């Protein structure tokens, strides 16, 4: 296993995320919108095996108090990544007010995030609350069947 992307490790107390990729997979770190507002979201392109398509994978931590500019930058990154035929984005997006069953939200920030998800034709595949009755940790993909083993206690695994 190797660390391909790090974010937020040095920028705040008690946080940060890392993206680990198996040594058996060929991958390349991507820099999606890194020249603009900073977000905690490393991205990689994982080379498909034997004629299979490449997969874009990202990990995100969105602090609960993240500002509009960083939210917009994250949506632009998602838009750039969603041009891929196979995308998986996992992380803690801190939008407890989104009702994923109804695809609805009442507040401005969650509504904008839902629009971003819809505009990029992404599916949210986690079906159970992940923390304190809320679905904060999400797995988003643009290809049905790409993600398997979705359990709140476990890790999402690519099929």
Closest CA to 117 of 150, 146, 89, 151: 89
Cβ atoms < 10 Å from Cβ of 5: 21
Closest CA to 27 of 42, 47, 13: 47
Please state, in angstroms and rounded to a whole number, the distance separating the CA atoms of residues 115 and 107.
Answer: 12
* DSSP-assigned beta bridge partners for residue 147: 158
Give this prediction's pTM. 0.83
Q: What digits encode the pLDDT tens for the residues 96-151?
A: 989 988 999 989 999 999 999 999 999 999 888 777 777 889 999 999 888 876 55
Give me the CATH code for the 2-145 domain, please.
Answer: 3.60.10.10
Helix spans in the chain (H): 68-81, 108-119
């Amino acid at each position: 296993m190797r660390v391909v992307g790090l974010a937020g490790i040095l920028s705040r107390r008690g946080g940060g995320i890392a993206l680990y990729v198996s040594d058996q997979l060929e991958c390349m770190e991507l820099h999606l919108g890194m020249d603009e507002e900073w977000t905690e979201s490393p991205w990689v392109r994982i080379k498909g095996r034997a004629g299979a398509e490449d997969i874009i994978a990202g990990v995100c931590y969105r602090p609960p108090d993240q500002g509009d500019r960083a939210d917009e930058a994250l949506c632009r990154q998602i838009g750039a990544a969603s041009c891929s035929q196979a995308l998986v984005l996992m992380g803690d997006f801190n939008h407890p007010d989104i009702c994923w069953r109804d695809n609805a939200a009442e507040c401005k920030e969650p509504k904008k995030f839902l629009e971003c998800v819809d505009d990029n034709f992404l599916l949210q595949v986690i079906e159970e609350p992940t923390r304190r009755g809320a679905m904060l940790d999400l797995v988003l993909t643009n290809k049905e069947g790409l993600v398997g083993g979705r359990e709140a206690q476990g890790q999402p695994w690519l099929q």
